[in-house]
Amino acid sequence: MKFAVLVFPGSNCDADLYHAIVDVCHEEAAYVSYTATSLAGFDAVLIPGGFSYGDYLRSGAIAKLAPIMTAVVAFAKAGKPVLGICNGFQILTEAGLLPGALLPNRQTHFICETVALQVENSDTRFTNQYVKGATIALPIAHGEGNYYCDPETLAQLHANHQIAFTYATDVNGSLDNIAGITNEAGNVLGMMPHPERAVEALLGSADGLGVFQSILKSGVATHGE
């Protein structure tokens, strides 16, 4: 598979994602600028964490207007996999590809630590290499990771099994401890924890590797490679 790693002004996890795909998973990846207008030739899109446009106005609110986002929306609507991590999750909600919003943490300050997560749904193209109910540990680093949606949307997320990960404890005030959700079609995932920072024992944990291995397995199944 060939992965597009988007780069916005202020992205700071793009190199980590590139390393996870190329050096750890031994797959092909290329950086794609926010000014690009096409994603032709790519099989999956990764939107990294960071502080696109300095988080001015509202996290992800300016990035959603970048030229590349028209191609990202079309890519997602074509059923191809799109993964947004941290600021990438915020961008996906701002772009309307995922429901809800990421509010400032309940503590009103930035949190940087490794937290325990529960795998709520292991039947998605991003989580099929995990066991449902398993506990994994991933780093978080955000000031606006407090997931919120209205009650009707929350009910739909539960009914459609769109909640992929939850925090094992309440770390930032997120509704139902939600840490990551998919769209209803299941081809777009947004998550606040950083799997790309936990792909090797050298980093202290390889628990995040399952996210990328799941995408690869789904790609093989889709393309019959």
What pLDDT, on the 0 to 100 scale, is given for residue 225? Answer: 46
Task: Name the active-site residue from 27, 144, 149, 194.
Answer: 194
For the chain, what is the mean pLDDT?
Answer: 96
Radius of gyration of the chain (CA): 16
Asked if 13 is an active-site residue, the reply is no
How far is the CA of 5 from the CAs of 131, 149, 176, in angstroms? 27, 28, 30
| Residues linked to residue 188 through DSSP beta bridges, in sequence order | 82
Task: Name the active-site residue from 86, 120, 144, 149.
Answer: 86
Task: Name the active-site residue from 27, 94, 144, 196.
Answer: 196
pLDDT band at 224 (very low <50, low <70, confident <90, very high): low
**Residue 196 CB-half CA count within 13 A:** 26
Cα(4)–Cα(1) distance, rounded to whole angstroms? Answer: 10
pLDDT band at 203 (very low <50, low <70, confident <90, very high): confident
Asked if 26 is an active-site residue, the reply is no
Asked if 223 is an active-site residue, the reply is no
pLDDT digits (tens, 9 = 90+) for 176-186: 999 999 999 99
What pLDDT, on the 0 to 100 scale, is given for residue 223? Answer: 58
pLDDT band at 222 (very low <50, low <70, confident <90, very high): low
Q: Using a cut of 0.75, tell me whether the model's pTM lies above it.
A: yes
Residue range 45-65: mean pLDDT, rounded: 94
Task: Please say if the pLDDT value at position 89 is more than 70.
Answer: yes
